Structure 1
Amino acid sequence: MTRIYARLGDRFTYVGGLPTAETFALPYLTMGVTTYSSAIFNFVPKFALEFYAAVRAFDNAKVYKMLNEFVLPYIQLRNRKRGYAVSIVKAGMKVIGRDAGPVRAPLTDLTDAEIAELSALVSRVAEVEKLAA
């Protein structure tokens, strides 16, 4: 990708999906990829926008703080079971009161205990969002 960007510069457009793209945002930005698709934007949009702004500003300290406080624990939860990349986004929507319904088979929804864990993560981010506002 670096080779392609070096040749094409601003004419290069990359459109692709990665699970939890936030973990790739800084290295991709250094290769010329300026945007990414964020699944967490669906249920913690202020956090996602703040994270993106920190990435674009190369505020590495803030990016890594946000990764450690929310994104990495979110990934640990998502990685518990195959198919949770979809399930956890639907659970996040449920946590904020916008239930998107269950996942389709063969996928499974998060357990009640896992939804409680996700809810605690979302609440922590929401509290930070309220303090920053």
Structure 2
Amino acid sequence: MAIERKAVPTGILGFPTAPYNENGKLDEKALAANIEFLVKEGLSSIFIACGSGEFHAINKAEYQAMVEVAMSVAGGKVPVYTGVGGNISHAVEVVKLSEDLGADGYLILPPYLIEGEQDGLFNYYKTIVENSDLNAIVYQRDNAILQLDTLQRLLEYQQIVGLKDGHGNMELNLELTQTIGDRLEWLNGMPFAEITMPAYAPIGYNSYSSAMSNYLPHISKQFYKALLEGNDHLVRGIYVDVLLPINRIRKARKGYAVSLIKAGMEVIGLPVVNTVRPPVIPVEKEHYQQLETIIKYALEKYPADNKEISC
């Protein structure tokens, strides 16, 4: 009997953070506000406890709390996917927990430390997906790079519905998308996906994870809409005025891919403090002030309620 698949997320994907209070404890109220903001702003889905949510640093109780908050706030309005990965036993455990909590699917983050052969990666993913009928999305990055024949073997498992690429090998991406086609949803998961989306969209990547949407979601939407509609003037304007300046700060320190999100959220008034867990570091004062300036300018030039934007 065929498994009835849930819809695969498309468009701009929301990746909430793991907000902590001044004592370093998970702040569930701040997390709820983060998710409410993303849903209200029209993001297509919520991916909870993934990279932006410091999957590497949260314990199982915090993981469960984050998923429960996401399920409650999303309330069926958008699908909720969880992050799984690392230690294979832990990955299987949280997949089962995600299913018990009612999640729509999960994103498989890279395995812990070891750079395995293709057969090893195949067995890693196989072991995880065999433990649940939930939708599964594989994440192509770091020590988990699937070649075409390995991915094709994995597609015997109907649970696998998408591939998220955070590796950036466009030759491999073309080989995958042109061979496999619409069997999978293709998600751009580069560290700042808006930066690379003009290269990814033409080859079949219709979705992307947006860190910036945690604090400038309307600009992310304006950018993506302009990209799809061929409005090169607006695409270039947002690219030069907003995306590139933020990306320069993001690249200034390792770990800013996570902490810069929280800084941006704090700048616009969301209840999150610029606090992260080691080995990630918080955003330094100078970079924080630079981000404030960029956000202020972006909100003035690309307002949420103005459809006629001059570039």
| TM-score, normalised via structure 1 length | 0.89
| Counterpart for residue 121 of structure 1 | 294
**SS in structure 2 of the partner of residue 36 of structure 1:** strand
**Which structure is higher in RCO with an 8 Å CA cutoff and minimum separation 6?**
1
- Matches of 1:75 and 1:54 in 2, distance apart? 20
Greater strand share, structure number: 2
**SS in structure 1 of the partner of residue 187 of structure 2:** coil
Which shifted more, 51-60 or 118-127? 51-60
- Matches of 1:38 and 1:113 in 2, distance apart? 24
| Counterpart for residue 92 of structure 1 | 264
Which shifted more, 102-111 or 71-80? 102-111
Distance 1:65 1:117, change over 3 A: same
Higher Rg of the two aligned structures: 2
Listed as ranges, the matches of 1:74-113 within 5 Å are: 74-101=246-273, 102-113=275-286
Greater helix share, structure number: 1
Deviations 1:2-23 (A, max 9, x none): 2332234333312352111011
Deviations 1:64-110 (A, max 9, x none): 21111011010111111111111110100110111423011222111
Length, aligned pairs only: 133
- Matches of 2:178 and 2:184 in 1, distance apart? 9
Deviations 1:2-61 (A, max 9, x none): 233223433331235211101111111110111111100110111111011011112223
Distance 1:25 1:16, change over 3 A: closer
| Counterpart for residue 50 of structure 1 | 222
Which shifted more, 4-13 or 93-102? 4-13
- Matches of 1:22 and 1:130 in 2, distance apart? 18
- Matches of 2:281 and 2:183 in 1, distance apart? 41
CA contact (8 A) 2:219 2:304 kept: no
Distance 1:130 1:57, change over 3 A: closer
Unpaired stretches in structure 1, ≥5 consecutive residues: none
Choose which of 199, 203, 214 in structure 2 pairs with 1:31: 203
